[in-house]
Structure formats: structure tokens, C-alpha cells
Structure 1
Amino acid sequence: MSAAQPSAQNQSVLSFDELKSRLEPFQQTQLLRFWDSLDSNQQTHLSQQIAQVDFAQLKTLVEGNDKSVDFGELAARAAMPQAVASDGSGCDWTLEQAQQRGEEALRSGEIATVLVAGGQGTRLGFDQPKGMFPVGPVSERTLFQFFADRLIAAGEKYGVDVPLYLMTSEATHEDTRRYFEKNDYLGLKPEQVTIFQQGTMPAVDAATGDVLMADKGSLALSPDGHGGTLRALSRNGCMDEMRKNGRKHLFYFQVDNPLVGLCDPVFIGHHLLACSEMTTQVIRKRYPTEKVGNVVEIDGQTQIIEYSDLPDSAAEMTNSDGSLKLWAGNIAVHLFDLDFLERMLQLDASLPIHRASKKVPHVDAEGQQVKPDSPNATKFEQFIFDLLPHAKNTIVCEANPADAFAPVKNANGAATDTPELARQAICDLHRRWLRSCGVTVDDSVKVEINPRFAMDPAELSEKLGESGQTAAEQTISTDQYFC
């Protein structure tokens, strides 16, 4: 495993006076109020943290002087971009042609993958990285195992090791690294996996704009959002490594969706046949205000309006037939042309910065720990999908949510996106696969198919035929894990 480290920090330690001079123009000298009580290691740590903050940019953000966007006005002008429907309509090629082209790219070793896994399972009541959450309805495989098994199966099918670049946060990095090492990289080759850490931005007090401190010797930092993926890939040498190994396209996905069609050749084929620089997979939203980004076209450019930025009145707009006007929900599955990403590295600062009100624990002026009961701070982050308007050519691909989207976000008991619902979706999908092969299986039976057994119904039919029985002669009456 290549365990890429965060960018090398400036090892020189600024003196108190140097730090004060740096902070005074931005009214942030409160960060030094505990300096004299810190030991030399703590002073070094705080000095390095302060040195990495762009206080000029932060001041602009705090004062609200960055470019503001009227999302309501944008939504009023929005239309649906041209999309390839899940049945293959909407493009000049067939699903079979797309699959053939995608398989060619996989066999040629052109595809790399990046998994965004900085989140902890806090909302799940799980105190570890979310990727370590057990979601297999029969096997209890973790989310990380779901993805690793898919990559292993793709490697066996196409005769190539598909690399996994895994982006963590400060909160998940060490636990994730240890998990992969302890579990033999989940069957992947060690050199296939590169674990690297995303950047951070400071949280500020919502009322004063002061940067908050997590403790007397540390800033209250939070991940800079999945928009920081590109910077982190470049900073940690991953982009150079991809180029050296002949990769041309990067499959991007996030950790909370066990049904993601990782390395799906049809999706890859659509991307390539459209000569797209950035391809986005979408589903039809389940309800107007669903917490997914809204994929739209405005002034000829494809872009995504995040659910938190879209007014309810805009989300609920309908067409004359009563259908949702903005129906395409982003499920955080993208395919990037590597040339495009390298060009975007030069425009990275142009990505807008989004604000979020959050509860941020911190120390007060007396050094006492404060755990707020309501949002007290503003966090800043960038979103990877804001690269879309910069792409010279894009395509949107619809997926059936029952096949491709079962996010694990909330604890059981919530209305949506729970582990229970995700496990049910996995079983439902695999029961449909079995029935399409002619197998009899009752709705009460839990079934789970590891992609290393079969990646799709066609492969499943072949495997079932190896038993000596026809699929139509087979009945499944007890919970079963196919692996």
C-alpha cells in the first residue's frame, strides 16, 4: 500500500512576534492568547497550522465579499441538460456499444478510481470511519469491503489491477490506514491502494468571525470538502503516478453508497463515446427536496445546485404534466478525463466556497471547553461538482436508483438513508438478479451476491449453471450469501 501523507508542513517555527505580525492585519491575534502556556511541541504545531491558513482569503469569506450567487434566480433559468436515460435512449450509440467501449478502456488499464472517505459514522451512531460500517445484509461486509470486492472482481474480469486512491480526513486517516493493513488490504494488492489525506480549513465563530481553537494549542479545523480532492491528489503525487501508469480517466465515488456501480463499463462507455471531460451519474429524485445536488443546465453549461443552496420553491417547480422540473439528483458518481483535471489544477482557486452552519466544540477565552447545543460556527468547503461548468463537454447518465443508490447516512429509525434500508435495497436488487435467471426466491429471504461471484445477472446465470441444475430448477428458501 502506498500511504501518501499530507503535504509537507513548513518545519520552520515562526516566533511569537512573527505570528502576531501575520495575524494582526486580519484581527486574529486571539489565536496566540495561550502561547506562553504551551510547550515547544505545542508551539511548533500551532505555528505550522497558522502558517498554512490563507487569512486574506478567510477575511474575504468572513466578510462575505466573495462572489455571491443568487441560487433562486439561477434555478428559475435552469433547464435539464441532455441526459442518457437508464434504458440507453438520448444518445447516438447503443448500450451494447457503450459496454464494449467501456470494457476496452478497462482492459487497457485506462481507469483509476478515487474514493472519498473522510466521514465518520457520527449520524449512524458509529464512532469509526464510515467505510468500516458493516452493511452486508447476510455477510456483514463493510462498505470498504463492498468496494474492494468490486475492484477485485473487475480486475479478474478485465485482466488489470484497477488502482484505488482513497482520500481520508484527519479524523479518519489513521484508523483507515490501520484497517487496511490489519485486513490485508481486503484482498487488494498493497500497491493497488494509495491512502492520502485531504486538506482543511478553519472554522470561524458565526458572530465574530474569529477563528476557533479546538484546544489551547490547535485550531478548530475541518475538511475542506470533496472539492479539495483534486488539490490533495496533486499534492500527494497521485496525479503523477496515474500518468506514469497510463491512466486516462478517474472514476470518483463516495463512501456511503454500497450500490455504486464501480467501474461499470456502460457508464465508462457513455463517457468515452461522448468525448466527455466530466460525466455525472444521476437518479430521478424521490421527492423535490431530497438531499442530493440538482443537476441542471444554465446558459449552456451543466452545473449542480446543492440542495442546501436551492430554495424549496425552486425545488418544487413542475412541468406542465406535473413532473419535477429539476428531477436529476446527483449521487456523487463522476468520471473525469485526466487531461481535464490537470487543466483544472490551474483554475482551482476559481471553485466557489460554500458555507455551512455547524456546531463546533472549542475553547473559550479562558481556555474552557465549550460544547455548543446549536450551530455556533461557519465552516467553509468546496465541492468537486463545481468543476462541471469548466468542462468543455459533459454528459449526464441516468441510473435506476434501485440498482445504483442506497446511501448509508442516518441511524436506523430515520425516514431515509438508513443501514436497514440500504440492506433491504441490496437484497431486493440481488433477488431481482436471481429471478431474472429463473431462480425462485421468496421476498422474506435475504440474499447477497458478492461481485467476486457475479458482477451482473449475465455472469450470475453462468455461475448458477455450473451447479448442474438449470436456474429454473433452483429455489432459495433460506438466507444465502453468494461468494
Structure 2
Amino acid sequence: MAGTRLGSSDPKGCFNIGLPSGKSLFQLQAERILCVQSLASQSVNEGSARFTPIHWYIMTSPFTDELTRKFFESHKYFGLEADQVTFFQQGTIPCVSKDGRFIMETPYRVAKSPDGNGGVYSALKSSKLLEDMAMRGVKYLDCYGVDNALVRVADPTFLGYFIDKGVATAAKVVRKAYPQEKVGVFVRRGKGGPHSVVEYSELDPSLASEINQATEQFIFDAFPYAPSTALFEVLREEEFAPVKNNNGSNFDTPESARLLVLRLHARWVVAAGGFLTHTVPLYATGVEVSPLCSYTGENLEAICRGRTFHAPCEISF
């Protein structure tokens, strides 16, 4: 996924949304994986189970693959082991205009574009990664969009919910922010039918105006074929900060995502007994807590209690 709508030709995961640390989306996600691994390792050491590192599969496109690989190599995989990160390419499809005509890249070649996030299924199969997962003993897959600055990668709470429900698939959902928000919604087709996603462009106007609906963070075209599905509603301000449009747009910008991260982390610091000072209104700023310090606000008391932090800043080890 390239960040063209953000005014960048780099893969979107390489984008820096302007946090005090200057970290890219990829680095934030890598460090959340490191944090979950650390928490899991501590839990395992208290019991008798064996800890296995999380394996990270990153889907690229033919247009972003080389740049993504080089970005990870130049940053030494952000502290992860190189052999626990696997890159694979999604497929492409011909570009077609609204009137049904092929769009030509040259007079003799049809232009192509990535086949969408639904292409992950065929890409995993064609890349032989299903066999790779079986060899590694992978039992559960957590799929997410790279452009969510607040995504909880490998969220143990969500995984526990999924396992407890005993379903084949599950998805995190948030409620629509406003009636006209251009997002799909989870629906049941027919009484007791399977869950599926209806895109905003396909919704009946009377349904589109409702806000008491769950909005998917990821589009799962395979959901209707799953024998059972569970939806897990989360708070938007804690887990959903999409980065889709340039600063200056009305929504889903690097600036809006940055503020969501800083405000959430400011609440963590205050809850842990810390204090904040600021020279601009606090609603326009906040503090950044390194994922290496805390995954969801836990274990911050030793760092924050009784201390004062001047926003904006990063709190790290």
C-alpha cells in the first residue's frame, strides 16, 4: 500500500505521522509486537509453557515490495529478528475506467493496480505461506490494516475473546462516527444468516444514515463463507486512528491520528499517577508513550508516578 493520498510515494507503513519520536507506522507496530512478546515471555516464565516469538507476515505490492524490504533492512527490523518477518506480494488486476474501458499504461500494455486487501487469501496461497505457517505451528492469524496508528497488533485480549468464543473468524468493530462516514458495515443477510460486509456505496440511504452500526477495520470478503463469526466492539478513541488523507482534509489525516495517539497516551500517564504541563491547549497536544514501555497503559506507574511531563514529548526507557 503506497501513501499516494498522503503526498508520499513511499509505502504507507513508512509514513511518519508527526509524533514526538518521529517513528513510522511500521516502527510503532514492530515495537508493539516486541512489547506483547515481552509480556508473553513474562507470563510464560511464571508458568510451564514455552514462549514462541510472534511471526510477522507483511503483504506488499509489486510497487512497494522492494522499498518496504529496504526500509526494514535499513532500520534493522526495529529490534525484531530478521527471520521473524516475512514479506509477500499481493496480486494485481487490470485498471478499468468507470465506463468499463481498460486504462492503458502504454499503447500496448494495460495498466494494473494491487487487487485490494481481499487479495491476501490468494497471495498467501500462491506464496506457499500457508505451508510456512503450518511448519511454524501457527494456530491463529491476526490481520490488520497498516494505516491504523492505534492498531493493537497481536492483541491478547482480542485473541482470548476469539478463542473463548470458539468461532472460525472474528473482527474488531467500532461504531460509525457520523451517518455519512464512508465505511462499510457488518450486516446479517437474512434472519440468522452469516455476517458480511456491505460497502457504504451499496447501502440503502435509510440504513446509511444510521450511526448505531458496527464499522469494520478490515474488509473480510471471506466472512460469509465462515461457519461462525464473532464481532468484538472496541472504543474508537483507543484503537482506531486511520491515516488515509493529507493534512488539510476533513478527516483521517496524519494530524488527526497523531492527536488520537497523544491524547490516549496522556490519559495513560495521568491514570498512572503522572502530571502534564503544556504551553498549548492539552486537547491539541499530549504525550507519546513508547510501545516498548507499555502496550495498553499497563506497567507505567514506576515510570510516571509523581513525575511531571511537558507535552508534547515521548516517554521511553
TM-superposed deviation, 1:180: 1.1
2:48: which partner in 1? none
Q: 1:204 aligns with which of 73, 91, 96?
A: 96
Q: 2:228 aligns with which of 355, 369, 393?
A: 393
Higher relative contact order (CA 8 A, sep 6+): 1
Tell me whether 1:266 sits opposite 2:266 in the alignment. no
Partner residue, 2:78: 186
Structure ID, larger Rg: 1
Out of 229, 237, 241, the position equivalent to 2:120 is 229
Structure 1 position 480 matched with structure 2 position 281 = no
- Aligned equivalents of 1:389, 1:190: Cα separation in 2: 36
1:427 positional shift: 0.6
Contact 1:454 1:463 in 2 (8 A): no
Structure 1 contact 446–478 (Cα < 8 Å) conserved: yes
Deviation digits for residues 59-118 of structure 1 (CA, Å, limit 9, x no counterpart)? xxxxxxxxxxxxxxxxxxxxxxxxxxxxxxxxxxxxxxxxxxxxxxxxxxxxxxxxxxxx
Q: Which residue of 1 aligns with 2:207?
A: 314
Q: Is the 8 A contact 2:60 2:89 kept in 1?
A: yes
What is the CA deviation profile of residues 394-449 of structure 1, one whole-angstrom value per residue up to 9, with x for unaligned ones? Answer: 11011101100110111111111011111111110000001111212142653111
- The SS at the match of 2:215 is strand
Structure 1's 205 and 262: CA in aligned 2 closer, same or farther, altered over 3 A? closer
- Is structure 2 residue 272 aligned with structure 1 residue 432? no
In the alignment, the residues of structure 2 paired with residue 312 and residue 281 of structure 1 have an alpha-carbon distance, to the nearest angstrom, of: 25
Detail structure 1 runs of 4+ shifted over 4 Å in the superposition.
none
Alpha-carbon distance change, 266 to 210 in structure 1, aligned in 2, over 3 angstroms: same
Shift of 1:219: 2.3
Alignment partner of 1:454 out of 294, 297, 304: 294
Paired residues in the alignment total: 299
Following the alignment from structure 1 to structure 2, what is the Cα–Cα distance between the partners of residues 406 and 435?
A: 21
Which amino acid in 1 is paired with 2:296? D
1:474 Cα deviation from its structure 2 partner: 1.9
TM-score with structure 2 length normalisation? 0.89
Unmatched runs of 5 consecutive residues or more in structure 2: 42-51
Measured after TM superposition, the shift of residue 211 of structure 1 is 3.2
The answer to whether the 8 Å contact 1:199/1:232 transfers is yes
Match for 2:4 among 122, 129, 132? 122
In the superposition, the TM-score normalised over structure 1's length comes to: 0.59
Superposition deviation, residue 289 in structure 1: 2.1
In structure 2, relative to structure 1, the CA distance for the partners of 1:462 and 1:392 (3 Å cut) is farther
Q: Which amino acid aligns with 2:314?
A: Y
TM-superposed CA distance for 1:298, in Å, is 2.2
1:330 is aligned, of 209, 216, 219, to 216
* Identity fraction in percent: 37
Once the two structures are TM-superposed, the CA of residue 456 in structure 1 deviates from its matched residue by 2.4
1:462 Cα offset (Å)? 4.1
Residues 286, 206 of structure 1: alpha-carbon distance in 2 compared, 3 angstrom cutoff: closer
C-alpha RMSD of matched pairs (Å): 1.7
Q: Distance in 1 between matches of 2:276 and 2:56?
A: 35
Secondary structure at 1:441's aligned position in 2?
strand
Give, in angstroms, the shift of residue 217 of structure 1.
4.8
> Counterpart of 2:105?
214
Q: Which residue of 2 aligns with 1:335?
A: none
Gaps of 5+ in 1: 1-118, 318-323, 333-383, 465-470
**Equivalent-residue separation in structure 2 for 1:401 and 1:125 (angstroms):** 26
Trace 1:63-142 onto structure 2 (pairs within 5 A). 119-142=1-24
Structure 2: distance between partners of 1:187 and 1:289: 41
CA contact (8 A) 1:152 1:188 kept: yes
Amino acid at match of 2:37: G
Deviation at 1:264, TM superposition (A): 1.3
Task: State the alpha-carbon separation in 1 of the partners of residues 313 and 55 from structure 2.
Answer: 30
**Residue type of the partner of 1:202?**
P
Q: Is the 8 A contact 1:136 1:448 kept in 2?
A: no
Q: 2:295 is paired with a residue of what secondary structure?
A: coil
Tell me if structure 2 keeps the 8 A contact 1:138–1:446: no
Q: CA deviation at 1:212?
A: 3.2
Alpha-carbon distance between aligned partners in 1 of 2:5 and 2:285, rounded to the nearest angstrom: 29
1:231-267 Cα offsets, whole Å, 9 max, x none, are 1011112111111111111000011101011111111
